Every structure is written in structure tokens, then in C-alpha cells.
């Protein structure tokens, strides 16, 4: 599931105009906050992470327009939900 973290980390980087690698790390930490197994992420897990722990972490970094960023991340999630189908063993 690192591909999912990589993919959405890059999407986040585009939206907040930051480097991709730190955004991937931020997303990984947000996932850990919710104690989800990064190797067994579901669509619902990611949606929960975006709406809760990622949002809180973005606030700590004083990112502008957090609600818009989170909303756009949710749109990306919906638009790319097939990733979860492909990743299933």
C-alpha cells in the first residue's frame, strides 16, 4: 500500500505546494495516528484519515485553506478509488 501513500502524498504536495516526500511522510503519520495498518488501507480508512488526522496535521503546519485542501483530497480519493481494487491481493 505504499503506492497509495506515494500517490496521495504527491496529490497533497500539489495542493499545498510543498515537496512530495515530506507530504508522503505527513500522510504516513496521519495514517499512524488512526492506527490503521498501512498495508491494509481501505477507501473508508483514507477518507477518515483525510477528514481527521491529516486535517489536524495540516493545521499544525499552518497550511492555508485546509478545508479546501481536504475537500480536494476527498475528490481525488473518489476519482481514484480504483487504486484500492487494484491493490487487493
8 A C-beta contact, residue 89 and residue 9:
no
Q: What is the pLDDT of residue 89?
A: 47
Residue 20: HSE in the Cβ half-sphere, 13 Å Cα cutoff: 8
Section 49-66 average pLDDT: 97
pTM for the structure as a whole: 0.89
Return the percentage of the chain with pLDDT > 90, whole number.
82
Amino acid at each position: 500500500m505504499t503506492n497509495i501513500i506515494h500517490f496521495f502524498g504527491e496529490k497533497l504536495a500539489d495542493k499545498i505546494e510543498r515537496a512530495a516526500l515530506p507530504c508522503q511522510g505527513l500522510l504516513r503519520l496521519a495514517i499512524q495516528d488512526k492506527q490503521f495498518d498501512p498495508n491494509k488501507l481501505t477507501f473508508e480508512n483514507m477518507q477518515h484519515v483525510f477528514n481527521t488526522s491529516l486535517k489536524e496535521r495540516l493545521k499544525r503546519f499552518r497550511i492555508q485553506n485546509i478545508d479546501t485542501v481536504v475537500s480536494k483530497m476527498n475528490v481525488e480519493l473518489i476519482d481514484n478509488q480504483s487504486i484500492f481494487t487494484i491493490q487487493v491481493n
